[in-house]
Amino acid sequence: MDKTSPRCKVAIIGSGNIGTDLMIKVLRHGKHLEMGAMVGIDPASDGLARARRLGVATTAQGVEGLLALPEFKDIGIAFDATSAGAHAHHNELLQAHGVKVIDLTPAAIGPYVVPAINLDAELDASNINMVTCGGQATIPMVAAVSRVAKVHYAEIVASIASKSAGPGTRANIDEFTETTSKAIEVIGGAQKGKAIIVLNPAEPPLIMRDSVFVLSEVVDRDAIAASVAEMVASVQRYVPGYRLKQEVQFDLLETPVNVPGVGMLAGLKTSIFLEVEGAAHYLPAYAGNLDIMTSAALSCAERMAERGKVRVLPSALV
């Protein structure tokens, strides 16, 4: 990259596992981004300590502390990796200062975004929502089917290691299912969506696994398989550990079945089984659920900065 090209400074709100992993990604792999500040509420958190060691400005006074930092004047994008309940307050304060917000909570104030599906269409939004880890992993598969067939119903099951589910994830289980189910419909293209999350306590911890079941009109199976393969490749561009566990499975349902909220339907059932291995920048490799969120958020911020959709000040030049 040209040494004189502008880079967008970013702040990360939330110094837990997700926020810390995202910080490491920005520091190691940021092309159009650089760290401006790490924000937490626990002065003793490992994330804040690590940020200080790496020369990143920090505050343990939450978003109000961020606004008080001298570095805040250069911030163009803020990632919120806290909770759905806290996000509304954070967003209100940041929007008042013209800062773009990338929401990694299930608050869903802004439009749902999955980079492989609709990122370019939402670059002008002041707040974008990254849905959920399960949504980032599975909605691309629903969308892959829906672009070649009308999807009546889609159900996803996200199974993650219990050890990778921190207090934020556990506090947002209801929001996870509601947000993911809605996003399956809005950007996945399903008439009706349903999401289930499973916290697997197995030892040693298992890599994230996702099952996607889609009931659609009957179309050419090869067309669906090709669309799924193309979508997997698109996601792998920003999440290298994303992969199919086996070939796409098909079942022809000639006798109508009762789909809750939709009615009696027949059609083609497509079953897709995924595995998401994390990059292990900060989190363990089994925590693919967290890695896909930070990787997707980073991809969104990079595109915003690259396309000039965020504030970049002279002091942010390298």
- Residue 248's SS3 state is coil
97 & 168 share domain: no
H or E element: which one contains 80?
Answer: strand 75-80
51 & 151 share domain: no
187 & 217 share domain: yes
pLDDT in tens, 40-50: 999 999 999 99
Residue 234 annotated as lining a ligand binding site: no
164 & 255 share domain: yes
What is the pLDDT, as a whole number, of residue 81? 96
Q: Which domain holds residue 248?
A: 133-284
Q: Is 2 a domain residue?
A: no
Burial (CB count within 10 angstroms: exposed 0-12, middle 13-18, buried 19+), residue 178? middle
CA angle at 161 for the pair 17 and 135, rounded to the nearest 5°: 75
171 & 123 share domain: no
What is the pLDDT, as a whole number, of residue 171? 80
What is the pLDDT, as a whole number, of residue 313? 57
241 & 172 share domain: yes
Residue 289 annotated as lining a ligand binding site: yes
103 & 142 share domain: no
140 & 232 share domain: yes
Residues in the chain predicted with pLDDT less than 70, given as ranges, are 1-5, 313-318
Residue 57 annotated as lining a ligand binding site: no
120 & 157 share domain: no
Residue 168 annotated as lining a ligand binding site: yes
275 & 305 share domain: no
Pair of tokens at residue 127: 């707040």
Burial (CB count within 10 angstroms: exposed 0-12, middle 13-18, buried 19+), residue 260? exposed
State the catalytic residue, choosing from 94, 104, 131, 133: 133
pLDDT in tens, 26-38: 999 999 999 999 9
Give the number of domains in the chain: 2
Q: Is 1 a domain residue?
A: no
CATH code for the domain in which residue 307 is found: 3.40.50.720
Q: Is 289 a domain residue?
A: no
Q: What is the DSSP-derived secondary structure letter of residue 312? A: -
What is the pLDDT, as a whole number, of residue 315? 46
198 & 260 share domain: yes
Q: Is 259 a domain residue?
A: yes
205 & 110 share domain: no
What is the pLDDT, as a whole number, of residue 317? 43
Q: Is 255 a domain residue?
A: yes
CATH code for the domain in which residue 265 is found: 3.30.360.10
157/110 Cα distance (integer angstroms)? 24
Q: Tell me if residue 8 is catalytic.
A: no
Work out the angle between the directed axes of helices 133-146 and 288-306 (0-180°, nearest 10): 70
Residue 14 annotated as lining a ligand binding site: no
Q: Is 3 a domain residue?
A: no
What is the pLDDT, as a whole number, of residue 115? 98
